[in-house]
């Protein structure tokens, strides 16, 4: 899962390196289901201090995305509430925020 996540970060966000934290709960060793009726699973990661990827991987032709950097927590929450964030990203974002709070890196 880590290799796949690193490729996705390069391809989609144009970022690399940093400190990688696997947010997967021990109760879901095979990953978190994307949808209750689907088979796709994902492993959420948090990356601290990534850097710009000077040679990013190519994006898939069918993918179109908007990369938003430096989004404050309040704005991320508003984007979620407006339905602008896909479910796996909502799950990962929420888990990342909780991890940061637990580690004392983000105020409650």
Task: Please tell me the predicted confidence (pLDDT) of residue 24.
Answer: 95
Instruction: Please state the φ and ψ torsions of residue 100, each to the nearest 5 degrees.
Output: -60, -40
Rounded Cα–Cα distance for residues 61 and 50 (Å): 25
Mean pLDDT in the chain? 93
Q: What are the boundaries of each domain within the chain? A: 2-102
Kindly state the average pLDDT of the residues 18-31. Answer: 93
pLDDT digits over 58-72, tens only?
988 887 778 888 999
Kindly state the average pLDDT of the residues 77-88. Answer: 95
Kindly state the average pLDDT of the residues 17-46. Answer: 92
pLDDT digits over 29-42, tens only?
899 988 888 899 99
């Amino acid at each position: 899962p880590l290799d796949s996540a690193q490729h996705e970060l390069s391809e989609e966000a144009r970022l690399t390196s940093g400190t990688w934290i696997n947010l997967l709960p021990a109760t879901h060793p095979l990953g978190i289901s994307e949808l209750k009726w689907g088979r796709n699973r994902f492993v959420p990661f948090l990356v601290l201090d990534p850097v710009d990827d000077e040679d990013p991987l190519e994006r898939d032709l069918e993918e179109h995305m908007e990369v938003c950097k430096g989004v404050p927590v309040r704005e991320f929450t508003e984007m979620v509430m407006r339905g602008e964030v896909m479910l796996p990203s909502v799950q990962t974002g929420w888990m990342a925020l909780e991890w940061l709070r637990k580690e004392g890196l983000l105020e409650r």
